[in-house]
Amino acid sequence: MLNPLITTIVNPTAIVVAVIATLLVVLVSSLKGRGWEPATDISDEVLQRRAAAVPETEFPEPGNRSIGGGGGGGAIPAGGEGEEGELEDGAAGGSGPGDIPEDEVEYFEVEFVKQGETVELSNNEPILDQGEDQGWDLPYACRQGQCVSCAGRIADGPSEDFVEHDNQQMLEDAEIEDGYTLTCVAYPRGSFSIETGEAP
Ligand code: FES
């Protein structure tokens, strides 16, 4: 009678214990088996192999020099200096009317029709600037010849018979023929009458 009872009580417990023990053993053994140490050993080996290869490429300075000096260092300074030099030479050439020295300045009588006055203007300052010097509120925006806000009209003929434009970028030839001028970049080179605030 005891044997069957013992076996019915012991067997389930023994099975559970055995299963748990087995799982623990498997887990422990599997962890030990994977062992993280070999991974670190492998990386060390790789590092050692790379270290062994370093002597073959131990020319970092020449490499750096070729990248920095051959690419940016050589081409950019050479081209930049050349272009800058040319621009500076051109600018220093004094081709613009604004560069006329004071002892060579000429003056012309210019009638401002809308203002009802005739004044003497120099040939080394824009009409706009000299009109403002008179205290007149003349129209303008960019002051660089890139809009038509400052436009005026010289009724006496083509504007460039009377003014020199220094880099005007807006007026077409026909408009210049009609007498239009951009006063912010127009330098007198004769006497004339002008209506300010007149755009084509
Ligand atoms: S203000 Fe713009 S072109 Fe004269």
- In tens digits, the chain (200 residues) has pLDDT values of 445 545 555 577 766 666 677 777 666 656 665 555 555 566 677 667 776 765 555 544 443 433 433 333 333 333 334 444 444 443 445 578 988 888 899 999 999 999 999 999 999 999 999 999 999 999 999 999 999 999 999 988 899 999 999 999 999 999 999 999 999 999 999 999 999 999 99
Which atom belonging to ligand 1 lies closest to the Cα atom of 182? 4
The predicted structure's pLDDT at residue 99: 87
Domains: count for the chain = 2
pLDDT of residue 188: 96
* Cβ–ligand 1 contact at 186 (below 6 Å): no
Query: For position 47, what pLDDT does the model report?
Result: 65
113 lines ligand 1 (CB under 6 A): no
Domain final residue, candidates 29, 61, 92: 92
Q: Both 126 and 178 in a single domain?
A: yes
Quote the domain boundaries for residue 121.
100-196
Q: Last residue of a domain, which of 92, 119, 141?
A: 92
Q: Which of 41, 75, 92 is the last residue of a domain?
A: 92
pTM: 0.55
Closest by CA position to 152, among listed 134, 126, 133:
126
| pLDDT for position 199 | 95
Distance of alpha carbon 156 from alpha carbon 110, whole angstroms: 12
* CA-183 nearest atom, ligand 1: 4
The whole-number pLDDT of residue 106 equals 96
Q: What are phi and psi of 153, to 5 degrees?
A: -130, 130
The pLDDT of residue 123: 96
**Whether residue 133 sits in one domain with residue 185:** yes
Query: Which residue out of 142, 165, 194, 196 has the highest number of ligand 1 atoms within 8 Å of its CB and is therefore the one to mutate?
Result: 142
Q: What pLDDT sits at residue 92?
A: 45
Same domain, 88 and 116: no
- The answer to whether residues 69 and 126 belong to one domain is no
**Residues 24 and 16 sit within 8 Å (Cβ to Cβ):** no
